[in-house]
Amino acid sequence: MKLYSFFRSSASFRVRIALQLKGVSAETVPINLRKSEQDEAAYRKLNPQSLVPALQDDGHFITQSLAILEYLEETHPQPPLLPKAPAERGRVRSLALAVACEIHPLNNSRVLNYLKDKLGADEAARDAWYRNWIAVGLAALEARLAAEKETGRYCHGATPTFADCCLVPQVYNARRFKCDLAPYPTVVRIEGACLALPAFQRAAPEQQPDAV
Amino acid sequence: MKLYSFFRSSASFRVRIALQLKGVSAETVPINLRKSEQDEAAYRKLNPQSLVPALQDDGHFITQSLAILEYLEETHPQPPLLPKAPAERGRVRSLALAVACEIHPLNNSRVLNYLKDKLGADEAARDAWYRNWIAVGLAALEARLAAEKETGRYCHGATPTFADCCLVPQVYNARRFKCDLAPYPTVVRIEGACLALPAFQRAAPEQQPDAV
């Protein structure tokens, strides 16, 4: 199994956490987003979306981090990263998507580049944009995680799920951009519980072979 | 079963298609995004993300359109909207996420409002933004759909899947914003195949009780 990945990519980080939690080893193929290696012809041929991560396994090539998580869950069911009951699975997926669809896409580097190049947004305006979508997204997550009885030590119950695989990389980015996390105590508490686990530690950006 | 929905919401449209394909009836609870009803206290209490769609079923409340599609697939498996093999399921989910994570989040009304209010983008700049992300996203989808052998009458094989549930509403938006679709012949061909089905027709925005 090969994981096309960039150490700082938040979506790659999600997949690395799932691989670690399941004890599945994958060779890292670094795609340096800073050098635009995702746009090179060889990689575009594999993945016309020019995004990381991508997983190569047994002749199959799967893109999009949440599709990769589902694939890993189906091919390596233990330990499960989704609960059993459909409504509970729905809750976990909904929390994961609240990060993957509502926060992260707005803060991709290609979006920040568009703001700079086409709309003339200076660094302060781009940072404000970045922090705004994190704040809106984390506030909604905090409201759910604080209120819903299914929240446990982790986003859903007593073991990590897809939701934690998505939350931790997003909070990592929030810290990197010095967002104020005080309004999100439940989010921060769950992040702490996750980061106490070796799987999350080993998946961290600094621990990757392509980290600089 | 109740679907909190707005006729013009692209994510609501995805869920309506899946409900129609599966022959599951749900009462529509209209949430008028133009009147900001998603931000009213009663709805925020149900859904702190203030987004549509949301599905209420048997005491459960599920948000995020792709989580709802998975929930429907698990609770109403016939006809299936995902293939059986994990790698094929991965391909379908990846195509669906290519719409849901890479195109749609950038063109939400709250994003367009931010561009206007905070970055001073005029209507022409906002329309250019909208069309840019559709063009980037549909070009990547076209490259995959045209090249991959799994593409059939629909995005994946001979029956509609999650991928078609996401593609058709996105192309609907592209048409509404008068995007040039000539570069995406495979996308347009698949849209045509879908729109020939009564399920897709009945799910269309104009057919909804809250359409104006």
Mean pLDDT for each consecutive 10-residue tract of chain A (212 residues)?
96 98 97 90 88 95 97 98 98 98 93 96 96 96 97 98 98 96 98 98 97 90
Task: Point out the residue among A60, A100, A132 whose CB comes nearest to the CB of B114.
Answer: A132
- Nearest CA-CA partner of B53 in B6, B100, B21: B6
Parallel/antiparallel/unpaired status of strands B60-63 and B54-57: antiparallel
Chain-chain contact of B118 with A129 (C-beta, under 8 angstroms): yes
Contacting residues of B for A86, CB less than 8 Å apart:
71, 74-75
Cα-to-chain-centroid distance, residue A45: 24
The tokens describing B95, both together, are 């195509």
Torsion of CA B210, B169, B166, A4, to 10 degrees: -130
Hey, what are B193's tokens? Answer: 């195949």
pLDDT in tens, A98-141: 999 999 999 988 999 999 999 999 999 999 999 999 999 999 99
Task: Provide the whole-model pTM.
Answer: 0.97
Separation in Å, CA of B202 to nearest CA in chain A: 25
The answer to whether the Cβ–Cβ distance between A62 and B90 falls below 8 Å is yes
Instruction: Given the cut 0.90, state whether the ipTM is greater than it.
Output: yes
CA–CA dist B47, B53 (Å, integer): 10
Q: How far is CA A161 from CA A17, A64, A168, B188, in A?
A: 10, 17, 11, 37
The predicted structure's pLDDT at residue B1: 97
Q: With 90 as the cut, is the pLDDT of residue B150 above it?
A: yes
| pLDDT value, residue A45 | 86
Flag if B60 and A90 touch (Cβ within 8 Å). Answer: yes
Q: What is the pLDDT of residue B49?
A: 84
Residue whose entry in the numeric block shows the structure tokens 């925020």: B44
Task: Give the minimum alpha-carbon distance from A25 to chain B in angstroms, rounded to a whole number.
Answer: 18
CB contact under 8 A, A87 and B125: no
- Running DSSP on this structure, what letter comes out for residue B212? -
Mean pLDDT taken over chain B: 96
Which residue in B has a C-alpha nearest to residue A70's C-alpha? Answer: B90
Q: What is the pLDDT of residue B46?
A: 86
Whole-angstrom CA distances from A205 to A14, A15, A59, A202, A208 are 11, 12, 27, 9, 6
Whether residue A113 lies within 8 A of chain B, CB to CB, comes out as no
